[in-house]
Structure 1
Amino acid sequence: MSRSNATFGVRSGGSGRPGRRSGLSRLRGWGGVGAMAAACLLALTAIALPLECGSPGEASAAAALPPAGSGVDHAQQAMADAPCTDPEASLRPSDAAGPAVQRIQKRGYLTVGVDQNSYLWGYRDPESGQIVGFDIDLVRAIATDILGPNPRIVFKTIPTDQRIPAIQSGDVDMVVRTMTINCDRIKQVAFSAAYFEAGQQLLVPKTGTTITGFDGSLAGKRVCTASGSTGQALLESEPHGSHIVLVENQLDCLVLLQLGQADAVLTDNALAAGQAAQDPQVHLIGQPLTHEPYGVAMNLADTDLVRRVNMVLQKYTNGGANSQWMQAYNKWLAHNLPGVSGPPAPLYKD
């Protein structure tokens, strides 16, 4: 499967299993976002199409970004030596403009790794052509704080297993892509405070399945998850006799499920809720299996940028029912992921 990243710049404000049907005839409804199916099938056939908007110079400049910061080796060693008890603990907020923030301001635009296939989180609206979603609203808030009104943003679409390499190489300033904070990842990248909490859960067809949960009913079944995801780690540690199917992007799993080439999907329930919204013939079963706090990921050396993002999150989540966070939740997630009363409480380590 191709690992080419699609890059596009915008300005803020725009918005065959035997006995089962196989092939395209088994594709089911998409809940009002039919154009998304074409994007998924393109991903499965490994056709990578560059998606560009705005100034042509933005994309080329983003591709040539130098590695961020010079203290990465020291930071990585410090993280490796430190015990991991509260991986969600991040640096205390600050609005100071250190080297990383100044780098972005001098360049004049923010480069962010995102997803364009996660319905409700980060996806290309088939009507407007704009990339939108819960994560994208947060990106715009960060960019506005650093660059001012109507900021220039370069979105780079990145496969799940390329999120960390993109940050370490300096291809992006940050990744905002339903990325779980955990003990392994904080040794490789720095995270903001958590801005959402999810959990791994199974997504299966509503009819014709014998899978009852994350248990022995998975024996002999094909369970799909994204390469490099926490779902892969969980399946590899507890496969329950299943056959693990790996894809680059999580939404590809829904297509495989629809084509009869997978029997179940294991992913964050927040993402699975979006997939169930696209296809009413699938649903979540069982209970969340893990604790999955999402954070904004940045280069280990960019400590001032981490603190700045945490300051943005502090403002973004303050205000209770009237906060920007709740407004984004009500707009994108409340209908398909109800019952969330607010963002997780931030944890800081210094």
Structure 2
Amino acid sequence: MKRLIRCLGLLVALTVLTVMVTACGSKPLSSRNVWHTDQQSKTITWGVKADTRLFGLLDTKDGKIKGFEVDLANALTKQMLGKHAKAKFIQVTSSTRMPMLKNGNIDAIMATMTNTPERRKQVDFSNTYFFAGQSLLVKKGSSIKNVKDLNREKGTVLGVVGSDSVENVAKVAPNAKVLQLTDYAQAMTALKSGQGQALTTDNGILYGMSVQNPGYVVTGGTFVSEPYGIAVDKNQQDFVKATNKALKELRANGEYNRLLHKWFHNVKGFDYEEAAKE
């Protein structure tokens, strides 16, 4: 009987210890300090696009994602954590980037994400690192010259799920029909097959698509401002402050402009001063 009591006592003690350890190791994601964790690991995990030419595109030859945002994230990582720090990249899309941030799969989003009042309810943003504007991509010779033409002709405009571009078009061209695709590659395929008369998103993204598809042009100017910011989860102000400080330093030492020219120097009509606005 004594042996049984001792065994039961030991079992209870082990159970209590297990519960305590589990509780200590399961802090909610909202209580994490991402910046302190990254300082210890000397690593920042970035969510980046892999389907967006000039910003983040998967190179099938070596399996690496390349683009302006990838290079800028690398530069920011080293500016924030030291020259031996490592930037880790995880592919996101317009529809997956927010859930992956909230789930703790990534530390920050740098994926052509516009800083909007609606999104600021869910995440915090860094200062602007690329000032884009929404425009249209059409086939050369198209009768669609601007967003008003879409409204008049009741045409179909193509967009991407998770982007605010389609909502913006609906405000200025309520007569236009909308077709949303999973990613920009599918949207471009839909445009080529005639499923829509125009594809809409930020002009920076569209410039990359026009470079890849010479038969298509960016038209109509910009009808909505789209300032890109680095998004982090709420209550991560330490990370935001460190990011803004590093971004300011990269602008001051010329590295920001070097990367901007590296990726956009051959884009016809690209406005460096507009893109670099803070």
TM-score range relative to shorter protein:
0.7 to 0.9
Aligned to 1:326: 257
The reply on whether 1:201 has 2:135 as its aligned counterpart is: yes
**C-alpha deviations, 1:303-323, integer Å up to 9, x for none?**
10000000110111114xxx1
Which residue, 148, 170, 174 being the options, matches 1:215?
A: 148
- 1:268-287 aligned at under 5 Å gives the runs 268-287=202-221
Q: Quick one: distance in 2 between partners of 1:66 and 1:278?
A: 46
Greater RCO (Cα-Cα under 8 Å, separation 6 or more): 1
1:109 corresponds in structure 2 to 43
User: 1:298, 1:217 → 2: CA distance?
Assistant: 35
4, 19, 30: which is aligned to 1:69? 30
Superposition RMSD in Å: 2.1
* Partner amino acid, structure 2, of 1:210: S
Per-residue CA deviations over 1:210-246 (Å, capped at 9, x if unaligned) read 2231114443422111122121221232344222111
**Match for residue 79 of structure 2 among 127, 130, 145:** 145
Secondary structure of the corresponding residue to residue 262 of structure 1: coil
- Measured at CA, do residues 280 and 263 of structure 1 come closer, stay the same or move farther in structure 2, by a change above 3 Å? same
The answer as to 2:186 corresponding to 1:252 is yes
Q: Could you state the TM-score of these two structures normalised by the residue count of structure 2?
A: 0.83
Secondary structure (helix, strand or coil) at the match of 2:95 reads: helix
Q: Which blocks of at least 5 consecutive residues in structure 1 are unaligned?
A: 1-64, 72-98, 346-350
2:44 is matched by which residue type in structure 1? L
CA displacement at 1:108 relative to structure 2: 4.5
Q: Residues 69-106 of structure 1, C-alpha deviation per residue, up to 9 Å, x if partnerless?
A: 329xxxxxxxxxxxxxxxxxxxxxxxxxxx32221233
Cα distance in 2 for partners of 1:180, 1:297 equals 9
Cα deviation for residue 279 of structure 1 reads 0.4
Higher helix share: 2
Q: 2:150·2:157 contact (CA, 8 Å) conserved in 1?
A: no
Distance 1:328 1:66, change over 3 A: farther
Structure 2: gaps spanning 5 or more residues = 1-25
Please give the TM-score of this superposition, normalised by the length of structure 1: 0.67
- 2:80/2:243 contact within 8 Å kept: no
User: How many Å separate the matches in 2 of 1:124 and 1:275?
Assistant: 14
Question: Alpha carbons of 1:212 and 1:303: their partners in 2 closer, same or farther (altered >3 Å)?
Answer: same
> C-alpha distance in 2, partners of 1:192/1:68?
20
Question: How many residue pairs are counted as aligned between the two chains?
Answer: 250
Q: Is the 8 A contact 2:147 2:169 kept in 1?
A: no
Identity %: 27
Q: Find 1:340's aligned residue among 251, 272, 277.
A: 272
